[in-house]
Chains A and B, each alone.
Chain A
């Protein structure tokens, strides 16, 4: 079946540090891949997405590249800010399907 595995948190970084949150997936066919972010007490919002192999999604300084050969979609940011503190969810959706599969989430704390 389809599944998403992401690194366990929490991840604690100092401001301006480099961020990587690992995400790997299992799926048949060619799913679309997503990163969602959840700030405290709020719903999830889409951070970035990629719909085919080798696509790079980017937004607000965050990037992730769809790697079919390694079935990965790792999230990166070159210099994190305190305001990036949140929970990050990796997810996949099969084309034409109506369900999205979410990873367990990774909590990020950024210290000033």
Chain B
């Protein structure tokens, strides 16, 4: 079955530590996205990538970094510079020929 996987589902880290969230897709989609969702809030775009080896900042990129070395993978690193990292993180992909986004199940990050 094609889809998007995110791991782990729950992640706990101590304040000041960097942490990397995994996102893998086997849909052969070119474009991938990272969103942040806070309780009772909508989605905010962190970074997106339209093609391998290229990515752009979204609306709230400060304190985050990404890489896109392979078409199927788009990991997100939450750095110690992110002031309030505790949130639910969603990865998505889209084929540029279409306009529908496909989402992974999300990773809930808690910084203690």
Whole-angstrom distance from the CB of A21 to the nearest CB of chain B? Answer: 14
Q: Is A27 an interface residue (CB 8 A)?
A: no
Chain B contact-residue range equals 20 to 34
B103 touches A102 (CB 8 A): no
Determine whether the beta carbon of A42 is less than 8 Å from that of B106: yes
* Cβ-closest chain B residue relative to A91: B101
Q: Which residues A42-101 have CB closer than 8 A to chain B?
A: 42-46, 49, 51, 89, 93, 95-100
Total A-B residue contacts, Cβ distance less than 8 Å: 52
Would you call A102 and B43 a contact (CB within 8 A)? yes
Contacts of B90 in A (CB 8 A): 43-44
Q: Is the CB of A89 within 8 A of B100?
A: no
Best-buried of A36, A43, A49, A105 by chain B (most CB within 10 Å): A43
Chain A interface size, as a band, is 20 to 34
Main secondary structure of the interface of B (DSSP, over half): strand
Interface positions of A (Cβ within 8 A of B): 32, 34, 36, 41-46, 49, 51, 89, 93, 95-100, 102-105, 107
Known: A42-B105, A97-B99. 16 other contacts (CB 8 A): A32-B99, A43-B6, A43-B104, A43-B106, A44-B43, A45-B103, A49-B100, A93-B100, A95-B99, A98-B50, A98-B94, A99-B45, A100-B99, A103-B42, A105-B42, A107-B40
